[in-house]
Chains A and B, each alone.
Chain A
Amino acid sequence: MVFYLFMLLLLLGSTLVFYSLSPYYAALGLMISSLFGCVVLTSLGLTFLALLLLLIYMGGMLVVFVYSSALSADRYPMVSNLGEVVLLFLLLSFWVLFIFEDFLESSTLFNLLSPLNDLSSLSVLYDYGGAYLLVGGLALLVVLIVALVVSYGSSLLALRSL
């Protein structure tokens, strides 16, 4: 039952991301959803993926997102529609609850709190799945070069100061 509470809070975080007026609240929603995503993954036993998500998502991507929204957001932003977000979240969760009611009342098939379920398949990534690492690394190199080319150069594109 607590498991479904964590997933509902994940949904709250996502609703906050897409429905809030100010990008800072969207970043808060990203933080909430990644945090509770980590909790969900940990309670399924996938601890390595949870730590990976926390480090890369919150430690890397979210910092970059907050800096770029601080540089590019409105000068006088509209602050918050938190009440509407919570109302939308409640509507969505009740809607899902009424569709999947019989599924939710059945016994859960998850293997809760048994550790290290993910490391056995993660090790394949470094062994037979080495090509995935290579192609993933090349794709990230392309992303880096694309980001640099798009944001390089003229004063029209440079980051402006507040």
Chain B
Amino acid sequence: MNRLVNAFLLTSLIAGTSLVIFSNHWFPIWLGLELSTLSIIPLLSYTSQSRSVEATLKYFLVQAFSAALLLNGAVLNLWISNSWDVNSITSPISYFIITAALIIKLGLAPCHFWFPDVLSGLPFLSTIIIACWQKIAPMFLLLSLSNLVSSEIIIVCSILSVLVGGWGGLNQISVRKILAYSSIGHLGWITCVAFFIPEVSYLLFLFYILNNTAILLICHNGSLYYLSSLSKSNVVPITAILFSIALLSLGGLPPLGGFINKVIPLIVFSLNGNNFIIPFFLIGSLISLFFYIRIVFNTSLTLFPQHSLNIVSFRTGNSSLSQPIISTLIPITIWGLLLLPIFFLFI
């Protein structure tokens, strides 16, 4: 696509998300959500392949429907409380409609069905935009609403998300679908803390974005579209090792950084005396840990009679523009546990 048009659309995408974050009135929030949805449609479908176009269309329909539902809830809130202000959600029905719209936009269960479909039809750079950047605006809205009204719908949806993220990713061979289900599970872990302390959710969400972006960039570099291409790919050897470690960090194993996403919600639950929901989260994340470890095990920890991993290539990858970005994001996933004391400012 023309570089000027590309730059214009990326700028309007950033402008749309910023409009959502920085406004107090429901109308610019709706406008920013629609602007960000509309401006990535050409970015997702610029290759005229039918898979990308189909995924773009599905994405647009889901996001447009949920933005209309959000506007509907905001107008209902205007009717009941006479205010367009974001901080004045007074009635439960308008809160529920707005939260339902945000849950559809984020891809939390039970509204997660579009997410693996859309993600598996797009190339990896578009996947980074959908899975990481486009979640900033609805997550921000969800957390700022949780500051005002604590409702149990968030906990129910996050429990369902963690379980769906675990069981959905079990029989997949496409890396994009695995990362989609892992993203659903991680969003479940992040949003459940919003019921108790929403500020902690912001930090967990930031950590999730950095972790996910690193893995998706590595997958883009090595064109790892299917699990079978892990034996034929051409990434730099250090990236191969760090990819395995970053996957384990995504699964939440303790000395790595991804453990923060699991231990902080557990601390928050047990400090609030809410021990009943902990087993659901642990079961879901245990199942998702299985398919991360399966990938790492079959690539790095076993030696087959044939060469199962031919991942060493001493030349740099195709898009070496992403190598510095990977190099700055990977240490966060490995040593991120050193950031744990920051969370104790909020708890």
User: A residues within 8 A CB of B46?
Assistant: 149
Task: Please determine whether A143 and B45 come into contact, CB atoms closer than 8 angstroms.
Answer: no
Selected from A139, A150, A153, the residue in CB contact (under 8 A) with B35 is A139
User: B residues within 8 A CB of A136?
Assistant: 31
Task: Please determine whether B41 and A142 come into contact, CB atoms closer than 8 angstroms.
Answer: no
Selected from B1, B19, B28, the residue in CB contact (under 8 A) with A149 is B1
By DSSP majority rule, is chain A's interface helix, strand, loop, or mixed? helix
Task: Please determine whether A142 and B19 come into contact, CB atoms closer than 8 angstroms.
Answer: no
Interface digits, B222-237 against A, CB 8 Å rule (1 contact, 0 not)?
A: 0000000000000000
Task: Please determine whether B45 and A142 come into contact, CB atoms closer than 8 angstroms.
Answer: no
Task: Please determine whether A139 and B5 come into contact, CB atoms closer than 8 angstroms.
Answer: no
Q: How far is the CB of B217 from the nearest CB of chain A, in Å?
A: 25
Most B C-beta atoms less than 10 A away, residue of A146, A156, A157:
A146
A150-B44 Cα distance, complex, nearest whole Å: 10
Task: Please determine whether B8 and A145 come into contact, CB atoms closer than 8 angstroms.
Answer: yes
A143-B46 Cα distance, complex, nearest whole Å: 16
Task: Please determine whether B12 and A142 come into contact, CB atoms closer than 8 angstroms.
Answer: yes
Q: How far is the CB of B326 from the nearest CB of chain A, in Å?
A: 30
Q: Is A5 an interface residue (CB 8 A)?
A: no
A153-B45 Cα distance, complex, nearest whole Å: 13
Q: Is B92 an interface residue (CB 8 A)?
A: no
Q: How far is the CB of B83 from the nearest CB of chain A, in Å?
A: 15
Q: Is B39 an interface residue (CB 8 A)?
A: yes
Q: Is A135 an interface residue (CB 8 A)?
A: yes
User: B residues within 8 A CB of A138?
Assistant: 12, 15
Closest-by-CB residue of B relative to A143 is B38
Q: How far is the CB of A137 from the nearest CB of chain B, in Å?
A: 12
By DSSP majority rule, is chain B's interface helix, strand, loop, or mixed? helix
Most B C-beta atoms less than 10 A away, residue of A132, A145, A157:
A145
Task: Please determine whether B48 and A157 come into contact, CB atoms closer than 8 angstroms.
Answer: yes
Considering only CB atoms and an 8 Å cut-off, how many residues of chain B contact the other chain? 19
User: A residues within 8 A CB of B27?
Assistant: 132
* Chain B residues numbered 3-31 whose CB sits less than 8 Å from any CB in chain A: 5, 8-9, 12, 15, 19, 27-28, 31
Q: How far is the CB of A117 from the nearest CB of chain B, in Å?
A: 16
Considering only CB atoms and an 8 Å cut-off, how many residues of chain A contact the other chain? 15
User: A residues within 8 A CB of B38?
Assistant: 139, 142-143, 146
A154-B1 Cα distance, complex, nearest whole Å: 13
A143-B31 Cα distance, complex, nearest whole Å: 12
Task: Please determine whether A135 and B9 come into contact, CB atoms closer than 8 angstroms.
Answer: no
Selected from B8, B12, B31, B45, the residue in CB contact (under 8 A) with A150 is B45
Selected from A135, A142, A143, A156, the residue in CB contact (under 8 A) with B28 is A135
Q: How far is the CB of B16 from the nearest CB of chain A, in Å?
A: 8
A154-B19 Cα distance, complex, nearest whole Å: 34
User: A residues within 8 A CB of B41?
Assistant: 146, 150
A153-B38 Cα distance, complex, nearest whole Å: 19
Task: Please determine whether B5 and A142 come into contact, CB atoms closer than 8 angstroms.
Answer: no
Closest-by-CB residue of B relative to A131 is B28
Closest-by-CB residue of A relative to B50 is A156
User: A residues within 8 A CB of B110?
Assistant: none
Q: How far is the CB of A72 from the nearest CB of chain B, in Å?
A: 14
Known: A135-B31, A139-B31. A146 touches B48 (CB 8 A): no
Q: Is B255 an interface residue (CB 8 A)?
A: no
Task: Please determine whether B48 and A145 come into contact, CB atoms closer than 8 angstroms.
Answer: no
User: B residues within 8 A CB of A145?
Assistant: 5, 8-9
User: A residues within 8 A CB of B45?
Assistant: 150
Q: Is B254 an interface residue (CB 8 A)?
A: no
Q: How far is the CB of B42 from the nearest CB of chain A, in Å?
A: 4
Task: Please determine whether B5 and A135 come into contact, CB atoms closer than 8 angstroms.
Answer: no
Task: Please determine whether A150 and B19 come into contact, CB atoms closer than 8 angstroms.
Answer: no
Q: 3 shortest A-B CB distances, which residue pairs?
A: A149-B42, A142-B12, A139-B35
Which residues from chain A sit less than 8 Å from chain B, CB to CB?
132, 135-136, 138-139, 142-143, 145-146, 149-150, 153-154, 156-157
- List 24 interface pairs A-B (beta carbons < 8 Å), by A numbering: A132-B27, A132-B28, A135-B28, A136-B31, A138-B12, A138-B15, A139-B34, A139-B35, A139-B38, A142-B9, A143-B38, A145-B8, A145-B9, A146-B9, A146-B39, A146-B41, A146-B42, A149-B1, A149-B42, A150-B41, A150-B42, A153-B48, A154-B48, A157-B48
Which residues from chain B sit less than 8 Å from chain A, CB to CB?
1, 5, 8-9, 12, 15, 19, 27-28, 31, 34-35, 38-39, 41-42, 45-46, 48
